[in-house]
Structure 1
Amino acid sequence: MGAIKCNDTLAVSIHRIRNSDLNEHGTVYGGRILELIDGQASVAAMRVARTTVATVSMDEIQFLRPFDLQDSMCMEAYVTGFGKRSIEVFTKVIGEHLMTGERFLGFYCFMTFVILDPEKQTAFNKLIPETEEQKTLMATYSQRVKQRQNQRQKQQEFLPHISISKPW
């Protein structure tokens, strides 16, 4: 096991907004963005895992600006930290108004993936940041891991109170 650079995990794609992406407000439906970035981020995660992974959480989901019909969405996803079987991926969506060329940050989140096979681990033991953005996000990785651990503990206390009986 060796090191991998953040840019070696980078997955980039551009999506042209279509009418089928829009909600009743004329902007991209949030669920559509989540669908697109889940696929994008899984590519980045698998570049570290080199085996099948599954999405286990989305954190800090921020819809910052809406995307309209005359926009494109450039989705960028790369790994910002990993453990033995879990992988954190940062995903951002940069909008571009195609008529003017104006670019804007429209969305970002952190996603956690887990390697499905309990006998397998990540293929690397070190992640190397290359940009200031990557350095900043990697520097706060351990804080996000602690937040997720605290959230899981709260969830374990909360879940027994959720009813799954038929309400009808």
Structure 2
Amino acid sequence: MKAKPCSDSLAIKTTHVQPPDTNFHNTLFGGKLLAHIDDLAAIAAIKHCRNPVVTASIDSVDFLTPVRAGDAILIEAFVTWTRNTSMEVFVRVITENLVTEEKKVCNTAFLTFVAIDENGKPTPVPPVYPETDYEKSLHESAPERAEQRDSRRKKSKNFAKEIGADYIWDRR
């Protein structure tokens, strides 16, 4: 497969934060933001591999500053690194006060997607290569994040096996 630049997968979305999207403190629900992040990251992954994808993990989701009703959020996502069938996608969210023009990075996240074929089975993805210093930095640090994900996933699987699938009240 021919390698593609990170920029080929770039996806951008801007949305206005409305009162129904906010909590008691008039700030954006974290879950609402996660939905936007997952949606746009999936678009970036699909643009890279041109196949359907499934979310394998969401990690390093850092809420850095509140997003208030009336603000806009600009979300950028692109593929930073690939393995055989999986892709790491970096997402950056910027909040903007539309009245004062103040902008802040309010969230960053890394997500992993797996490309699937018409039978729902993992399928190979093209390699990705960075072009800018920003992309190179993310690309070079990706293997370390992948190792951390692999370790965390093993621990999660072991923990799930340990606690089992019985309802808590069935254990009394």
TM-score (norm 2): 0.91
Partner of 2:46: 46
Q: Secondary structure at the match of 2:3?
A: strand
Residues 81 and 129 of structure 2 are in contact (CA less than 8 Å); yes or no, is this contact kept in structure 1? no
Residues 92 and 105 of structure 1 are in contact (CA less than 8 Å); yes or no, is this contact kept in structure 2? yes
Partner of 1:142: 143
Residues 61 and 109 of structure 2 are in contact (CA less than 8 Å); yes or no, is this contact kept in structure 1? yes
Partner of 1:87: 87
Residues 46 and 52 of structure 2 are in contact (CA less than 8 Å); yes or no, is this contact kept in structure 1? yes
Which runs of at least 4 in structure 1 moved beyond 6 Å after TM superposition?
none
Gaps of 5+ in 1: none
Could you tell me how far 1:155 is from its partner in structure 2? 2.1
Q: What are the Cα deviations for residues 58-92 of structure 1, in whole angstroms up to 9, with x where unaligned? A: 01110000101131000000001011111110001
Give the structure with the larger strand fraction. 1
Q: Secondary structure at the match of 1:2?
A: coil
Partner of 1:70: 70
Partner of 1:121: 124
Partner of 1:159: 160
Q: Is the counterpart of residue 102 in structure 1 residue 105 in structure 2?
A: no
**What percent of counterpart residues are identical?**
36
Gaps of 5+ in 2: none
Partner of 1:30: 30
> Structure 1 CA distance, aligned partners of 2:15 and 2:108?
16
Superposed CA RMSD:
1.3
Residues 23 and 29 of structure 1 are in contact (CA less than 8 Å); yes or no, is this contact kept in structure 2? yes
Inter-CA distance 119–161: structure 2 relative to 1 (3 Å threshold): closer
Per mean C-alpha deviation after superposition, the further-off stretch among 127-136 and 108-117 is 127-136
Count of aligned positions: 166
1:134 is matched by which residue type in structure 2?
E
Could you tell me how far 1:119 is from its partner in structure 2? 6.0
> Structure 1 CA distance, aligned partners of 2:73 and 2:132?
22
Residues 9 and 79 of structure 1 are in contact (CA less than 8 Å); yes or no, is this contact kept in structure 2? yes
Residues 80 and 88 of structure 1 are in contact (CA less than 8 Å); yes or no, is this contact kept in structure 2? yes
1:143 is matched by which residue type in structure 2?
E
Could you tell me how far 1:16 is from its partner in structure 2? 0.5
